[in-house]
Structure 1
């Protein structure tokens, strides 16, 4: 399903720095953009919108489509390859693809194995993918943490308990997979932040909270992390809720360095959006606002 903006709603791509500033980079009432990745050269953000892939230049704030062929409409799960030249993408047909970041023909990576595949992580050496598998595309079933070779092949499940999990991505050193999971609670939807080693050992909760916490993303230097905080009682990661983007030090997940409240959720912070120098990260908000009052601002 391709998401679109509501009447009177805008899409805001924002950049937050570890020094706690947030600036509006791009705003539009025409297309709902989601899930920013930062390119390795630091010059652009890669987002999806309208089922397509887009490049947003950081200096000029110019948006341009990256033309792809051989792939179904995209969803908001995409991760750059470590070489900076390719990108792995999840599509609405339930499969993961690889494509040149400059555009061109996409190649399907996953097989018809009875699962929908939602990509979130690529290992630092580019050899392995981490994704969430949904059996038969039945979203009433919990997502399972899966890994597979990035050039295809059989998948392996990593056991992180019975609860739904999402957002698995590798730490910069490849030693851990960071994710959110409902396995620490019997309350439906009560996702919490966790990590596990790629061999399935060391599964642990990072933060015990009353909120519903999703999508932990580590900075390239491993010193900071961002994540998305939903209101208590939220089930899944729906759109258009009052949420918080949270910045923490990885030395103390329980002490936020800064939070940014906004209207969003789905699409806001689905993938790792840190800049290559670890100085800032991007996120997307979806306010209902008066376009005449829309302007760049600091927060």
Structure 2
């Protein structure tokens, strides 16, 4: 198989292919310094946009990374998920240039998805004591964790709005998977999509105008790879969205925050048949 890293530009609503490589590459971030971060073969890779190619990022002992990673708001650190130490996904942080990861999450499994805008917290999915997957905040300084969501069969894919006022996520209730948002203290839960599609991985734009998310066909279970999927763009204040791209993808296409600083573009990955 092959993977094609792409950029969607708001100006002209156009898709720009950036790099096509053999194998499965997943989950692009857009680093504040202007390059992309992706996952492949259990490793982290940098993609310089001036001369696109895969450059390995040193992650020390961590060699079983999944596709959950994100640079801190200031770009100095990278948070990532790896299961080398415990066999179950744990969240770590390390210098953005690479190095030995330092564990952040006390509990497993935990899957990193993003940072609060002030860099004090990471927001992630987690499963505790045999219960369903929910949304959690972990304080970077102390490792203290608290659950944000309740009463969902499954909640996943969290990402902060740029002003820190909302956590967006996909939540499943009674077989329907929609986009939701909630205050970081667990108040004001709001359902933001309500249609036949299966909606995952919402990412608010840094400019505060839009939210991009992945839409699976009706009836899809989980977030599988290699399906006919679409990207949807909706107003951040709520309201009807619109399809902006359709391609072969799913898992790995848009798992983590991927907007460019300023919100003029975002990165995603498609998998040509």
Which bin holds the TM-score, normalised by the shorter protein?
over 0.9
Task: After TM superposition, give the deviation of residue 90 of structure 1 in Å.
Answer: 0.8
Q: Residue 47 of structure 1 is aligned with which of 38, 42, 51?
A: 38
Q: For 1:77-226, list aligned pairs within 5 A.
A: 77-92=68-83, 93-111=88-106, 113=107, 115-135=108-128, 142-183=132-173, 186-187=174-175, 190-226=176-212
Equivalent residues of 1:71, 1:97 under 8 A apart: no
Counterpart of 1:296? Answer: none
CA distance in 2 between counterparts of 1:208 and 1:160 reads 19
CA distance in 2 between counterparts of 1:253 and 1:91 reads 37
CA distance in 1 between counterparts of 2:50 and 2:125 reads 34
Q: For 1:44-83, list aligned pairs within 5 A.
A: 44-83=35-74
Deviation string 1:162-203 (CA, Å, 9 cap, x unpaired) is: 3200011111011110000013xx12xx21000000111000
Q: How many residues align?
A: 268
CA distance in 2 between counterparts of 1:255 and 1:145 reads 24
Task: After TM superposition, give the deviation of residue 209 of structure 1 in Å.
Answer: 1.1
Q: Residue 23 of structure 1 is aligned with which of 13, 16, 20?
A: 16
Deviation string 1:57-115 (CA, Å, 9 cap, x unpaired) is: 1121122111110324110111111121110001133100001111111111112x3x3
TM-score, scaled to structure 2: 0.94
Q: Residue 278 of structure 1 is aligned with which of 257, 263, 266?
A: 263
My pick for the range that moved more, 52-61 or 146-155, is 146-155
Structure 1 gaps of 5+ residues are: 1-8, 289-299
Deviation string 1:137-167 (CA, Å, 9 cap, x unpaired) is: x7xx521111110134331112332320001
Equivalent residues of 1:167, 1:270 under 8 A apart: yes
Counterparts in 2 of 1:251 and 1:148: CA distance versus 1, 3 Å: closer
CA distance in 2 between counterparts of 1:248 and 1:12 reads 24
Deviation string 1:37-65 (CA, Å, 9 cap, x unpaired) is: 001122x1001111001000112112211
The structure with the largest alpha-carbon Rg is 1
Counterpart of 2:215? Answer: 229
Structure 2 gaps of 5+ residues are: none
Instruction: Please provide the CA RMSD for this pair.
Output: 1.5
Equivalent residues of 1:70, 1:107 under 8 A apart: no
- Whose strand fraction is larger, Structure 1's or Structure 2's? 2
Equivalent residues of 2:233, 2:241 under 8 A apart: no
TM-score, scaled to structure 1: 0.86
